[in-house]
Amino acid sequence: MEQMDEEHFRRGPHPLGRSAAPSPRPEGETAGQQVLSSEDREEILLGAHANPRVAVRGRSLEGRCAVRDELQLLAALEVAGIGAAPAVLETEDGEYTRESAPPLTRRTGRRAAEDGSPPTAERLALSRAREDLDALLDELHQRGWVLGAQAGQGLGVRADGSVVVTDLQGLRREEGLAPRAEDRRWVDTVLQDQQRTLRRRIDTSAPPWVPSAPVGAGSGMKTAMSQEMASAAASAEPSSARTAAVATVTTPASAAADDADPAAGGAMAQALPVPRRQLRRRRVEPAPRAAPSRTRPLRTVLTDALQQPAVRRIAVLCAVTVLLLGGATALGVRWAAQPPAHTPEQQAVQAPAAPEIEDPWQLVADLAGSRHAFVTGVSEVPVAAAGSSALEQDQQTRLAYTGHLVSGGGPVIHEVELLEGPTAQGTARLRAVTSIAEHEIEDPEGQVRTVPATKPAEVRLDLSWDGQHWLIDSAQTPPDAGVPGPD
């Protein structure tokens, strides 16, 4: 007994919880990994407590295609500097690992009134989070995607305090207004900002982007939001369309306020707060579709190619209309930004001078990688100029690749020559002799076929400078070159 007391005195009491039973793991988590699986894809949460990350892989052909598109979208968002998008950490054989973060939690039990504003520090943090999430949604919607996250869930916070989206199960291609509005409401729910002033108030019963709260009364007065939208539309649209834009954003509520009694208008103005301008949300419009070109130098060849079997059709389209189908990997593509939309007045004033083409070979290689990424569905950003014949060719080739996976292959550049330019108008012409290496194509049924290498073919490129990048206006084969085919 004395020996036990002496040992207890020397070692001290046992730590708390040593004899307690270990706490059970959360449901669905084994050995530190939480598995989320479906028929098409599988997601595994690694390091749930320290350095969390998510491993994603596709199980079916459709799932692998979706994972590939998701991977390339995340890579493009990272290149565009979108901080709220999860970063891609590893890639391997159609699988990838992205970052995750602990879920964002808001403290409860505030002593102030429920409708009051949050403290200054919290408000600033939420404002930065809203700006990051708005930028993410703007970029997704511009590329034709929607987030589709569940209300109030799917947002994590990094160690530096920035937010990151952790739920990508609803990420999909869709351009409808209703899913985009749901994405905006998701930001409100996940930040608990439905009743606060971190953004301008939007009437949920009204159509998207329509203001509903007048701020004053009397003849000739509009809502504050109408004035903001009208001024933004007037500055972004040509002068001939400004009158129509102002008439479009004038709401029925503001029109009724013009004829209403001033006292009644003042009471309504006091019922709803004035929208704040410093955290204004940008209105996102669907990306303009390029108008089809009237000139179709390869119409006959494309028509014949599209009538052939899938593998032969893709091979012919690759050889004829796709300039240098590059062997750029998923993350190795040099992403080119879309040309910014300018009004005719701005284009006339800017008239950017095209830089000298010091290395035509490198320029052709860059265009090859970016164009390959677009026609095979890896990238959403074309390198062909809007309304050009090259863009029409790329879109038809992209359609031929739908549902197919391309492995291996790539361009073989034999010759590159600068024929003329850059001119004062920002144009240039190059000649390139290329061929396509042997590659494999997996069709939607899972059958893999080998496409032989093509013979070297000459391609004439007409390029235009948009102020930041060289874009392809046309890619044609000389009349005496013929249509290249497989060896």
For residue 371, the model assigns a pLDDT of 82
Opening angle at CA 161, ends 155 and 163, nearest 5: 25
Domain assignment of residue 420, yes or no: yes
Domain assignment of residue 444, yes or no: yes
Contact between 438 and 451 under an 8 Å Cβ cutoff? The reply is yes
Domain assignment of residue 36, yes or no: no
For residue 481, the model assigns a pLDDT of 54
User: What range does the domain containing 440 cover?
Assistant: 299-334+350-476
For residue 428, the model assigns a pLDDT of 92
- The first and second tokens of residue 66, run together, are 């979706």
Contact between 199 and 191 under an 8 Å Cβ cutoff? The reply is no
Domain CATH for 325 = 3.10.450
Q: What is the pTM of this model?
A: 0.39
What CA–CA distance (Å, rounded) separates 398 from 394?
Answer: 6
Question: Burial code of 246-283, b = ≥16 C-beta within 10 A, e = fewer?
Answer: beebbbebbeebeebeeeebeebbeeeeebeeeeebee
Give the percent of the chain with pLDDT over 90: 9
Q: What is the pLDDT of residues 333-355, one digit of tens each?
A: 333 333 444 444 444 444 457 88
Domain assignment of residue 318, yes or no: yes
Band (pLDDT 50/70/90 cuts) for residue 261 is very low
The number of distinct structural domains making up the chain is 1
Contact between 249 and 224 under an 8 Å Cβ cutoff? The reply is no
Nearest to 45 by CA among 70, 26, 71: 26
For residue 267, the model assigns a pLDDT of 38
The CA radius of gyration of the chain, in Å to the nearest whole number, is 29
What CA–CA distance (Å, rounded) separates 112 from 119?
Answer: 10
What CA–CA distance (Å, rounded) separates 107 from 125?
Answer: 13
255, pLDDT greater than 90: no
Q: What is the pLDDT of residues 353-381, one digit of tens each?
A: 788 888 888 888 778 777 877 887 767 88
226, pLDDT greater than 90: no
178-192, 263-277, 330-344 — most confident range: 178-192
Work out the average pLDDT over 141-149.
91
444, pLDDT greater than 60: yes
Residue 271 CB partners (closer than 8 Å, separation 6+):
none
Domain assignment of residue 401, yes or no: yes
Q: Which is more confident, 278 or 473?
A: 473
For residue 118, the model assigns a pLDDT of 55
What CA–CA distance (Å, rounded) separates 45 from 30?
Answer: 10
142, pLDDT greater than 70: yes
For residue 305, the model assigns a pLDDT of 43
462, pLDDT greater than 80: yes
Sign of the C-alpha dihedral computed for residues 374, 378, 380 and 381 taken in this order: negative
238, pLDDT greater than 80: no
For residue 467, the model assigns a pLDDT of 85
Q: What is the pLDDT of residues 14-61, one digit of tens each?
A: 443 333 344 444 444 444 465 567 888 888 888 766 788 889 988 888
What CA–CA distance (Å, rounded) separates 268 from 37?
Answer: 52
What CA–CA distance (Å, rounded) separates 318 from 250?
Answer: 50
Residue 415 CB partners (closer than 8 Å, separation 6+):
431, 432, 433
Beta-bridge mates of residue 55: 44, 97
Give the percent of the chain with pLDDT over 70: 53
Helix axes of 177-190 and 120-142: crossing angle, nearest 10 degrees: 160
Domain assignment of residue 441, yes or no: yes
SS3 per-residue string spanning the chain: CHHHHHHHHHHCCCCCCCCCCCCCCCCCEECCEEEEECCCEEEEEECCCCCCEEEEEECCHHHHHHHHHHHHHHHHHHHCCCCCCCCEEEEECCEEEEECCCECCCCCCCCCCCCCCCCHHHHHHHHHHHHHHHHHHHHHHHCCEECCCCCCCCEEECCCCCEEECCCCCCEECCCHHHHHHHHHHHHHHCCCCCCCCCCCCCCCCCCCCCCCCCCCCCCCCCHHHHHHHHHHHHHCCHHHHHHHHHHHCCHHHHHHHHCCHHHHHHHHHHCCCCCCCCCCCCCCCCCCCCCCCCCCCHHHHHHHHCCCHHHHHHHHHHHCCCCCCCCCCCCCCCCCCCCCCCHHHHHHHCCCCCCCCCHHHHHHHHHHHHHHHHCCCCCCCCECCCCHHHHHHHHHHHHCCCCEEEECCEEEEEEEEEECCCCCCEEEEEEEEEECCEEEECCCCCEEEECCECCEEEEEEEEECCCCEEEEEEECCCCCCCCCEC
Q: What dihedral angle (degrees, nearest 10) is formed by the CA atoms of 475, 480, 481, 487?
A: 150
- The first and second tokens of residue 176, run together, are 């409808």
Nearest to 243 by CA among 254, 232, 234: 234
Domain assignment of residue 97, yes or no: no
Cα–Cα distance list, 319 to 405, 466, 485 (Å): 17, 27, 7
For residue 31, the model assigns a pLDDT of 46
Q: Share the mean pLDDT of the chain.
A: 66
For residue 147, the model assigns a pLDDT of 93
Domain assignment of residue 114, yes or no: no
Identify residue 410 by its one-letter amino acid code: G
